[in-house]
Amino acid sequence: MANARVMVKAWWHDQADYNWLARALDSHAAVHWTKVIVGAGGVVLAGIAILVLASDTGPPSEIGRALDWMIAAFALFWAVRWWFLPWPSRGESLTLFAAADLAITVACLQEANRVYGALGVILLVVTGGYLAVMHNAKVLAVHATWTVLSVVALTVSMVAVGGDPMVGLAIVLISVAAGVVLLPTMQFCYWVLRQDAITDPLTALLNRRGLELHLAKVGAPGGRTPTCAIALDLDRFKDVNDRFGHGVGDEVLVRTAKRLRAAVGERMVVVRTGGEEFVLFGHLCVETARTQAELVRRVVAEPEPVRRSAEPVEPVTVTASIGVVVVDDAWLPHSVLIQRADTAMYQAKQLGGNTVVIDELIESSAA
C-alpha cells in the first residue's frame, strides 16, 4: 500500500514532458495519422454545430446562433491547424484544448433541447483523452473539474425547465464516471507503462530511452552552466560472470547501481546504457567532475561478499574504466558529449582499467 501511495504521488508530480512526447510521435511514421485524427475532431465539431443550427431545436436567439457559427469557424480552424502545421508547442496545445472545452460547454448550454445539451458535454471526454496522454495529471484534474462544473450546470438547466431529475442525475454520474474516474485511471496506467519503458528492470536506473527523455528536458549542453557526462564501464566483467555465474553478475550490477546513486546524490542522473555500461549526466565544473569521477572509481572498486547458493560467502571485486567530458561555453549536441565521454572511457580501458580519463580537448574548449 505504501508503494502504491508513492507511485500515485510520483504520478501527480510528474511533468509528463510534452515536447519529448510530441517529438516521439512526430518521429514515427506509423503515428503521423494522429494529427489527422485530432484535426478530424474539429470537422466533427463543426458538423455538429452546423446540424444544430439547421435543426428546429437549435439556438433560439440570434446571439446563440452567432455563437454556434463562431464555434463552427473555430472547429474548422482547428482542423486546418492540425492538418497543415507542425505539432503545437505545449502552450499552444493547452490553449487549443482549453478553447475546445469552452466551445463544447457553450454550445451545449445554449441548446433549446436541454437533454441533448446535457448529453453533448460527453464530448469533453474526447478532449480529455488527448490531455490524459499528452499532458500531466494536474492539467487533467483541471479538465475534470471543468467537466463536472459543465455537466452540473447543464443538468440544473435541464431540470429547471421540467426535465426529469433522475435523468439529470444519471447524466451527471455518466460524465463523472467517464471524465473523473476513467480518464485519470487511464492516464495513471499509461504513466506506469511509460515509467517501465524508460527504466532498466534490473537496476531500476534509467535506460537509454530514459536518458533520451532526461536530456530532452535539460536542454542542449553548454552556455553559462557547465555540463558533465561521465561514461563508466566495468572492467573484465565477463570474468565475473564466467567464474561466479550470471546471478552473481546481476548482483554486482545492482550493487554498482546503488553505489553510483549514493556517490553522486541528486547532482547527476545515473543511467544504465547496456550490459555493464553506465552514464552519469549533470551540471558540474571540470574540477568537481574530476573529484566526482575519482569518488565513483573508488566506491565501485570496494569489495563486497556475495553468496553463490549454499556455498560460502566470497568477496567479489570489480573496477571501472571512466571517461569524463565537461563543456562550458561551447554548445554541443548531447550525442557528441556522450560519444566523447565514451571515447575517454575506452582510453581508460586501454590504460589497464580502474582509471579516470578526462577529455582534454573538450576541457580546454570549455576553459
Note whether 217 and 17 are within 8 A (CB). Answer: yes
Which phi and psi angles does 223 have, rounded to 5°? 85, -145
Taking the CA atoms of 112, 118, 122 and 124 in sequence, report the sign of the dihedral they define. positive
* CA pair distance 308, 222, nearest whole angstrom: 47
* CA pair distance 200, 188, nearest whole angstrom: 20
CA atoms within 13 A on the CB side of 310: 0
* CA pair distance 29, 25, nearest whole angstrom: 8
Which of the following is catalytic: 62, 212, 251, 276? 276
Instruction: Please say if 276 is a catalytic residue.
Output: yes
Alpha-helical regions (H) of the chain: 2-13, 18-27, 33-54, 62-84, 90-109, 114-120, 123-134, 137-160, 165-176, 183-197, 208-218, 237-244, 246-264, 286-301, 334-350, 360-366
Catalytic site positions: 276
